[in-house]
Structure 1
Amino acid sequence: MPAHEAAGPPHGPARTGAAFHAVYGAGPAGVWAAPGRVNLIGEHTDYNDGFVLPLALPHTTLAAAAPRTDGALRLHSGDAPGGVVEVPYGALTPGRDLGWAAYPAGVVWAMREAGLPVGGLDLHLDSTVPTGAGLSSSAALEVATALALDGLYGLGLGRQELARLAQRAENAFVGVPCGIMDQTAAARCTTGHALLLDTRDLTARQVPLDLTGHGLRLLVIDTRVRHALADGAYAERRAGCERAARHLGVPALRDIGYGQLPDALDALTELSGVRPLVRHIVTENHRVQEVIARLDAGEPRAAGPLLTAGHASLRDDFAVSCAELDLAVDTALAAGALGARMTGGGFGGSAVALVEDAAEQEVTAAVRTAFAAAGHAAPRVFTARPGPGAHRVA
């Protein structure tokens, strides 16, 4: 087995366009792409108005699409069983059980709710973004759909507005209370850079991330597990953060500075259950700034310990890690990684490890051996290279 592997089957716009024709009997009007993402640092900070540092993966969702004049939706995925999902005009309502199709349908709904002149849609989707891996497969699907609709109906929307509409689809139509990071990363990342995003005002800076030039790699370790408590626990932690902010009299935990943390924790004595959540958010925002300082100074190796500290905080304070993620991180570090952490919402999904080129094979082999010894399924391991955000490909 190779040391690192691509996720998903080979795909491209020609293949996706041909699949569209096979499903609908005619070719698409175009094909659009949106990437998955991996978050270098800044976890659970986005719904606290904080800072995040994602990068786009080379793994993408491709959306082949054509407009319809009757307002209806016909949705098909090459990765999901069950054939075409048809949603008549007027039947597009939040909470309806559409399975995977709720994500693209939600984007249409969000655009129509915003008063945009969006008609019907024939859509076929292909993806190499692993699902359930904490790599934002849902955001890639949403943003690819949003960009396709923007192109089909000449909406002229900016990238951040596309991301906002995609987030609204997931929040209000699908019912997942995610922050804005995933959709923004899919829409706004650029090749060779990580995206420093202030999730309060949505200002962003493209931060050069030339790990290859420094003899480094960022390995993604997809544990291939997702524990069932993830969605409810995510909502609980978000509610806990909001409760703490109200008690502290601030709009969001982002407003608690790193130097103010001891006083903030003292003020939360009556809410002892939320104190670890506050400690994670405040220290994680600080870690994002520290990683940026290392990257700006041309010292990406020095970011390694900050990644590891972030994992400890997610494991111990935010309590969103799991045995498989801890095993991946601990094994990678023991095998020579400069730093490692879980990435994504937690309770499964993926970890990242910053490694020297020379240590890549050893770290990968060690993680696979440890998973086999523990009786876990073999993890999927691949190198993350910062790729482009959403764009039209055909």
Structure 2
Amino acid sequence: MTHLFERTSDVSGPSPVIKASAPGRVEILGNHTDYNGGTVVGAAIDLRLRVAVRGRDDDRIRMASTSTPSRFETTLSTYRDDDGPDWTKYTLGVADELMMYAGGGTGTGFDLLVDSDVPSGAGVSSSAALELATGLALNALWDLNVDLNALIRLAHRAENRYVGVPCGLLDQAVCGAGRQDALVVVDASEDRIDTVPFPGETRLVLCSSHVRRSLAHSMYETRYSECRDAHSAVSRLVPGLGALADLHPFDTAVYGPALDPVLRRRADHVVAEEDRVTRFLDLLRSVDGSTGSLAAAGELMTASHRSSQTLFENSCPELDFLVDRFIEQPGVLGCRLTGAGWGGAVVAWIDGRFDESSLAAVTEAYAEQFDAQADARFVRPSDGARLD
């Protein structure tokens, strides 16, 4: 971790270095429900992305990452037109939103250095972690006094408007509002972010496939459009329908035959997923906290993945293989893809029966099947974005 701050010679200017960090996240349940007006459950994890920022006495913006030797330079007046590496769009998008918040500009450039333990392209929101850490640091640098809740939504707008990904609020909310030993619940219908305790006798395993994905150039936008089309079609049959996730499973059974087959599969997934989230949270909040309740909650996670396989069609053979191998192991309560899908990672929810040998059995089977390595690690719910 310290090598980030040993490189402060790369961050030059008259003001002190400001340090901030944000975690990656896993999505526990609620796949593609956030932008459909539903509820998502996630967890910030104990892998963090860090930034060091220093103000300048001119309008230059210089950005670098410890993961690459290159450096990108632009200015406050040209950053929207200058073409930099993809990761710089997330930092510049947040800077752009903050400058609009400040009334059109701050008058000071900055140098920014990034160091990360959060794997990119693995479906654990390295982009949202970068947005939140950058936002906190620039907010402090420019003395804007934007609170964390507002910063979460500002980062979300940056990804929608500047980066061009029509994502929901899940990633920024979980990376921003995460808490140690708690799950984050994002209710898009009421724009509310809550937490629920994470059962202390359980853990999570994050297992990344060797298939990377990029939201801006993936099937994400296609699914987003299909869900909008499904909502529009059902709205003609159900007047006053607010969002696709507002439907009851009974509604899709009744009105589904009137939909295009592809749109029906998308609607069936979203509506059933919202129902799974409701039941999952009821089980976690149950008074007894029994093993039976946890097992039932875990089964909902695995059912979510099966829905992604067959209805939303956002999984891939590598993720399906990992889920199949995990749920064969004793101590796995549930397993599913995490994030948008089409590659990336799965998250397994485990109890004390699952150990290192269990994990080795999964990764060795993956290596034999695909002649590639799956990167697996134990993780726990962690605190969200903060100034360091």
Q: Same fold (TM over 0.5)?
A: yes
Conserved? CA contact 2:75–2:109, under 8 Å:
no
In 2: Cα distance, 1:381 partner to 1:98 partner: 28
Superposed CA deviations along residues 80-118 of structure 1, whole A, max 9, x for unmatched, are: 231x21111211217844432111111111222334554
Conserved? CA contact 1:20–1:123, under 8 Å:
no
**CA apart distance, 1:230:** 8.1
The partner residue of 1:282 within 271, 278, 289 is: 271
1:150 aligns with 2:139: yes
In 1: Cα distance, 2:167 partner to 2:82 partner: 16
Conserved? CA contact 1:73–1:122, under 8 Å:
yes
Q: Aligned with 2:353: secondary structure?
A: helix
In 2: Cα distance, 1:44 partner to 1:168 partner: 17
Alpha-carbon spacing, 1:156–1:134, altered in 2? closer, same or farther (3 Å): same
Map of 1:129 onto structure 2: 118
In 1: Cα distance, 2:230 partner to 2:81 partner: 30
In 2: Cα distance, 1:28 partner to 1:16 partner: 15
The partner residue of 2:158 within 164, 169, 191 is: 169
Match runs of 1:207-226 below 5 Å: 207-210=196-199, 213-214=200-201, 216-226=202-212
Conserved? CA contact 1:20–1:28, under 8 Å:
no
Superposed CA deviations along residues 341-372 of structure 1, whole A, max 9, x for unmatched, are: 11111111110112222223343122112112
Alpha-carbon spacing, 1:345–1:17, altered in 2? closer, same or farther (3 Å): same
Backbone CA RMSD of aligned residues: 2.0
Alpha-carbon spacing, 1:272–1:93, altered in 2? closer, same or farther (3 Å): same
Range 330-339 or range 122-131, more displaced: 330-339
In 1: Cα distance, 2:297 partner to 2:81 partner: 42
Q: Which consecutive unaligned segments of at least 5 residues does structure 1 have?
A: 1-10
Match runs of 1:11-30 below 5 Å: 11=1, 14-24=2-12, 28-30=16-18
Range 274-283 or range 112-121, more displaced: 112-121
Map of 2:238 onto structure 1: none
Conserved? CA contact 1:55–1:195, under 8 Å:
yes
Map of 2:221 onto structure 1: 235
Map of 2:246 onto structure 1: 255
User: TM-score normalized by structure 1?
Assistant: 0.90
Conserved? CA contact 2:24–2:126, under 8 Å:
yes
1:390 aligns with 2:385: yes
Map of 2:26 onto structure 1: 38
The partner residue of 2:341 within 343, 346, 366 is: 346
Q: Aligned with 2:340: secondary structure?
A: coil
**CA apart distance, 1:251:** 3.5
Alpha-carbon spacing, 1:97–1:123, altered in 2? closer, same or farther (3 Å): closer
1:86 aligns with 2:70: no
Q: Aligned with 2:344: secondary structure?
A: strand
Range 292-301 or range 191-200, more displaced: 292-301
1:266 aligns with 2:247: no
Superposed CA deviations along residues 287-341 of structure 1, whole A, max 9, x for unmatched, are: 1111111111123332111011000000100001111101100011112322111
Alpha-carbon spacing, 1:381–1:77, altered in 2? closer, same or farther (3 Å): same
Partner AA of 2:278 in structure 1:
Q
In 2: Cα distance, 1:240 partner to 1:60 partner: 34
Map of 1:294 onto structure 2: 283
Conserved? CA contact 2:15–2:56, under 8 Å:
no
In 2: Cα distance, 1:231 partner to 1:321 partner: 16
Partner AA of 2:197 in structure 1:
P
Range 31-40 or range 256-265, more displaced: 256-265
Q: Which consecutive unaligned segments of at least 5 residues does structure 2 have?
A: 236-240
In 2: Cα distance, 1:151 partner to 1:301 partner: 44
Q: Aligned with 2:373: secondary structure?
A: coil
In 1: Cα distance, 2:352 partner to 2:15 partner: 44
Range 119-128 or range 172-181, more displaced: 172-181
Sequence identity (%): 35
The partner residue of 1:103 within 87, 90, 94 is: 90
The partner residue of 2:63 within 75, 89, 98 is: 75
